[in-house]
């Protein structure tokens, strides 16, 4: 990259930070660190790991400064950028047959329609990427800068099938890229969106066999069900999982887990909670999830929530000083589980009444029943028809990360005003859920 194209303008310098002490100010432009021009956040983080830095800064008047900085290995400069030093976020070039974004109606939050497929975001935020838009220089950069772990949406290792599933003629070389990454000590976590009659059955067997053959570099694989909304007009026909097909998928993954525990000393592949709920099966034990490597994929969230909830339950007071009535909002899929926890909490704490409201997703319709895809208007509709008591608890999974806003741009404040009720947002955590119920 040429120096003239650098646009890493500093928008904040934290008081008392290394950057402030070195003389960096808002409006300065970061040009290079130790002679390396900074193109994106990965290069910035990589160069920042050195204990001695020569930081080249351009002042607003065009004056160039070279700052010599000694710091600890893990110390940050304490500065932020207005771009934020991502040249551009790479969008997905695929047209996946199961893509949830293609099933969104119009009029939702604009950011929801952007399909990211960027290796930098995979490293920084855990996003899953398909690797279909990777150029040779991109692969070299992943290896050079040790961008690891990286999360990859595989779906199938059958090249011809993957091209059809992703509607991308360049999608068939997934095994070659993965092999190259793991050979260069890049750790990979994989995701398979399972579609009945497409990549399940024998195709799933072959995919798991191929991924396992790549060795320790592939750390884990998550199998999650395809999500289908009522907005699939003009899209390929897909089936949703039902009780029978969900049970078959569980049994298939269980057989592979038994093999991998013997062969790899690890379960290696994990199936998401939604399958167990659809199949009306008992969840595996907490130990079976082996540290929850695929928690963000909805794998083991129920088991972890229940463990933390019950552990904290045993430490609670037997009664409240003042009686309290609380309503917990959840999706229809998780309703039976959340309701069972609520009954246990009621039985342990005298004076507490907990109502669990399983909200039907009318906005997306179809087979969407998870809490994280509920909209504010669906929640408002259901809550308007009930006496919610002293407090309403909603899980933060319903909201945009870091903001109190639903998928349909409805905010928590909007909900409070329309209902004239107190609303508390709770992390998806058993202990914190109880704390929110009792003490907020």
Q: What is the DSSP string of 149-209?
A: SEEEE-S-S-HHHHHHHHT-TTGGGHHHHHHHHHHTT--EEEEEEE-TTTTSTHHHHHHHH
> What is the predicted pLDDT for the residue at 433?
94
Instruction: Report whether 1 contacts 56 (CB < 8 A).
Output: no
Instruction: Report whether 94 contacts 166 (CB < 8 A).
Output: yes
Written as one string, the DSSP assignment of 261-283 is: HHHTSS--EEE-HHHHHHHT-PP
Average pLDDT of the residues in 111-129? 51
Q: pLDDT (tens digit, 9 = 90+) per residue, 372-398?
A: 888 889 999 999 999 989 999 999 999
| Residue that wins the pLDDT comparison between 199 and 38 | 199
> What is the predicted pLDDT for the residue at 118?
44
30-44, 121-135, 260-274, 388-402: the lowest-pLDDT one = 121-135
Give the Cα separation of 182 and 173 in Å (integer).
15
| Residue partners of 256: CB distance under 8 A and separation at least 6 | 205, 208, 268, 269
Give the Cα separation of 229 and 103 in Å (integer).
6
**How does residue 440 score in pLDDT terms, banded at 50, 70 and 90?**
confident
Look-up of token digits 């704390």: 435
> What is the predicted pLDDT for the residue at 435?
92
Whether residue 187 has pLDDT greater than 60? yes
Put simply, whether the predicted model's pTM sits higher than 0.75 gets the answer yes
Q: pLDDT (tens digit, 9 = 90+) per residue, 220-234?
A: 999 999 988 877 777
Tokens at residue 159, please?
Answer: 């090249």
Whether residue 120 has pLDDT greater than 70? no
Average pLDDT of the residues in 303-319? 88
| Residue partners of 355: CB distance under 8 A and separation at least 6 | 325, 326, 327, 328, 342, 386, 388, 389
Q: pLDDT (tens digit, 9 = 90+) per residue, 59-112?
A: 999 899 999 999 887 788 988 887 654 445 555 676 788 887 666 666 665 555
Give the Cα separation of 4 and 420 in Å (integer).
55
Give the Cα separation of 204 and 157 in Å (integer).
9
* Bond preceding residue 84 cis, omega within 30 of 0: yes
The residue extents of the domains of the chain are 3-81, 101-299, 306-439
- Summarize the chain as % helix, strand, coil (round to 5): 40, 20, 40
**How does residue 327 score in pLDDT terms, banded at 50, 70 and 90?**
very high
SS3 category, 416:
helix
Work out the mean pLDDT of the chain and round it to a whole number: 86
Nearest C-alpha neighbor of 174 from the set 127, 206, 216, 200 = 206
CATH architecture of 306-439: 3-Layer(aba) Sandwich (3.40)
* 101-299 carries CATH number 3.40.50.720: no
User: What are the CA-CA distances from residue 325 to residues 47, 320, 322, 387 (Å)?
Assistant: 54, 11, 10, 10
Whether residue 406 has pLDDT greater than 50? yes
CATH of 3-81 among 2.60.40.10, 3.10.129.10, 2.30.42.10, 2.60.40.60? 2.30.42.10
**How does residue 116 score in pLDDT terms, banded at 50, 70 and 90?**
very low
Tokens at residue 226, please?
Answer: 């395809």
Whether residue 113 has pLDDT greater than 80? no
């Amino acid at each position: 990259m040429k120096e003239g194209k650098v646009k890493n303008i500093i928008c904040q310098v934290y008081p008392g930070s290394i950057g402030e002490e070195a003389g960096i100010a808002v409006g300065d432009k970061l040009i290079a660190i130790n002679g390396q021009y900074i193109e994106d956040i990965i290069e910035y983080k990589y160069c920042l790991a050195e204990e001695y830095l020569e930081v080249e800064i351009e002042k607003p008047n065009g004056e160039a400064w070279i700052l010599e900085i000694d710091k600890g290995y893990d110390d940050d400069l304490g500065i932020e950028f207005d771009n934020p030093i991502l040249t551009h976020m790479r969008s997905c070039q695929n047209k996946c047959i199961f893509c949830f974004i293609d099933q969104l109606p119009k009029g939702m939050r604009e950011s929801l329609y952007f399909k990211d497929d960027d290796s930098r975001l995979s490293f920084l935020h855990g996003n899953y990427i398909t690797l279909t838009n990777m150029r040779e220089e991109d692969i070299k950069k992943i290896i050079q800068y040790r961008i690891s772990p990286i999360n990859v949406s595989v779906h199938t290792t059958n090249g011809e099938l993957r091209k059809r599933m992703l509607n991308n003629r360049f999608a068939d070389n997934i095994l070659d890229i993965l092999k190259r990454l793991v050979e260069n000590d890049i750790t990979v976590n994989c995701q398979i969106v399972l579609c009945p009659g497409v990549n399940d059955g024998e195709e799933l067997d072959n995919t798991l066999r191929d991924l396992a053959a790549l060795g320790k570099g592939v750390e884990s694989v998550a199998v999650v069900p395809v999500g289908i909304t009522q907005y699939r007009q003009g899209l390929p026909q897909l089936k949703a999982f039902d009780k029978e097909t969900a049970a078959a998928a569980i049994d298939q993954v269980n057989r592979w887990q038994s093999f991998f525990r013997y062969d790899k000393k690890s379960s290696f592949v994990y199936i998401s909670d939604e399958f167990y709920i659809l199949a009306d099966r008992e969840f595996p034990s907490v130990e079976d999830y082996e540290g929850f490597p695929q928690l963000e994929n909805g794998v083991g969230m129920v088991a972890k929530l229940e463990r933390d909830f019950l552990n904290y339950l045993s430490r609670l007071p037997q009664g409240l000083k003042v009686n309290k009535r609380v309503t917990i909002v959840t999706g229809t899929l998780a309703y039976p589980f959340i309701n069972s926890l609520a009954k246990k909490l009621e039985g342990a704490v005298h004076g507490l009444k907990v109502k669990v409201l399983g909200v039907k997703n009318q906005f997306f319709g179809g087979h969407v029943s998870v809490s994280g895809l509920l909209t504010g208007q669906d929640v408002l509709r259901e809550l308007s028809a009930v006496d919610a008591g002293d407090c309403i608890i909603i899980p933060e999974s319903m909201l945009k990360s870091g903001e109190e806003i639903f998928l349909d741009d409805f905010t928590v404040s909007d909900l409070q005003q329309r209902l004239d009720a107190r609303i508390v947002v709770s992390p998806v955590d058993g202990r914190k859920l109880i704390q929110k119920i009792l003490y907020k």
